[in-house]
Structure 1
Amino acid sequence: MEKRGPITAEDTALVKRYLIVPMILDAFERDKQIIESGLFKSPTLYTDLIDKAMDQATKELTYVRRAFKEHGIKVYDERKTRKGVEAKYLCRGYHKEMSMLWTFISAEATVLRRLLLAEHGCKWRSEYSGSDAAGPQTVLPRKDQLMIRVGRLHK
């Protein structure tokens, strides 16, 4: 069901997430190739964790695309420039432009990648150590405190 009215902060957050998550997937894939190149003695320890994080990021992107339909959002132009990423999108009949600097994208992607990796690392620790603890204490923001306030990472 498509919402009515002007563009909201949630709509903008969805567009940001739509632009950033594919870059995260690309970065994970590059990291995985480097790890598999023979520099690590036990690469599967790391690639398994990256694979799980990539699965979660893919689910997040699926959620965002579904939310696009509900919110009436369509990104129709996306360009990478020297300064960052520029996108044009349509939201319930309103044409809007967004630009994000590479420094912002890098910071957001780093936080999201850490959350994706930490989520699976903590699950692994809990499952295999016999501990019921949620995992090590972290200085990372909770998922609901991200700059991109869409909600939790979707499973």
Structure 2
Amino acid sequence: MAVKQYIISALVLDVLERDIAHIGSSTLKMAHVYMESLCRAQDEVNADLSRIRTQFRRSGIKVLKEERQPHGVRVQYVVQGYEHSFYLLRGLLRTEVTTLLKRYLHLPTPIEPGHYPNKSI
């Protein structure tokens, strides 16, 4: 679902902005190295968000409201004149944001227990 991807990407962007600000004000000796990595990830997220917005315009999708609540995020959106909504729980958001952030930082994602690629156990 493109709307879900849009919301999660926007949250990743928020996380990156916050972390860049924290690292920028830190006393780390090599802060510029970490900031460069985070800024590159930020550029990738912005490019993806731009692609998603273009897709929204072509498909007639418009996000009306994104409401952050104590236990998650409620999203209201319109697709070709029909209004929809969904709610993403905080636990799911944390997992999705972490996975996407790792992708943007080019970090490996751990193998889930019980799933071993190219091996039969």
Distance 1:140 1:68, change over 3 A: farther
The question of whether the paired residues in 1 share the 8 Å contact of 2:102 and 2:109 is answered with no
Equivalent position SS for 2:84: strand
Q: How does 1:13-52 map to 2 (within 5 A)?
A: 13-52=1-40
* 2:99–2:109 Cα contact (<8 Å) kept: no
Read off the aligned partner of 1:70 and give its amino acid letter.
R
Aligned-CA RMSD value = 1.6
Aligned residues: 111
More relative contact order in 1 or in 2 (CA 8 Å, sep 6+)? 1
Counterpart position of 1:71: 59
Is 1:113 matched with 2:101? yes
TM-score normalized by the length of structure 1: 0.67
| Greater strand proportion | 2
Query: So what's the TM-score if we normalise by structure 2?
Result: 0.84
Q: What's the CA shift string for 1:33-57, capped at 9, x where partnerless?
A: 2212233111111000000000000
Aligned to 2:64, the other structure's residue is in SS state strand
Paired position in structure 2 for 1:7: none
Q: Which runs of 5+ in 1 are unaligned?
A: 1-12, 120-137, 142-155
Q: Aligned partners of 2:63, 2:25: CA distance in 1, in Å?
A: 36
Partner of residue 132, structure 1: none
> Which whole-Å CA distance do the structure 1 matches of 2:84 and 2:23 have between them?
40
Deviation at 1:104, TM superposition (A): 0.8
The answer on whether the counterparts of 1:89 and 1:96 sit within 8 Å (CA) in structure 2 is yes
Q: Is the 1:111–1:140 contact (alpha carbons within 8 Å) kept by the matching residues of 2?
A: no
**SS in structure 2 of the partner of residue 87 of structure 1:** strand
Task: Give the Cα separation in 2 of the matches to 1:48 and 1:140.
Answer: 24
Offset at 1:140?
5.0
Listed as ranges, the gaps of 5+ residues in structure 2 are: 112-121
Give the SS at the match of 1:85: strand
Percent identity of paired positions between Structure 1 and Structure 2: 30
Distance in 1 (CA, whole Å) between partners of 2:76 and 2:21 is: 32
Give the 4+ runs in structure 1 shifted more than 2 A: 138-141
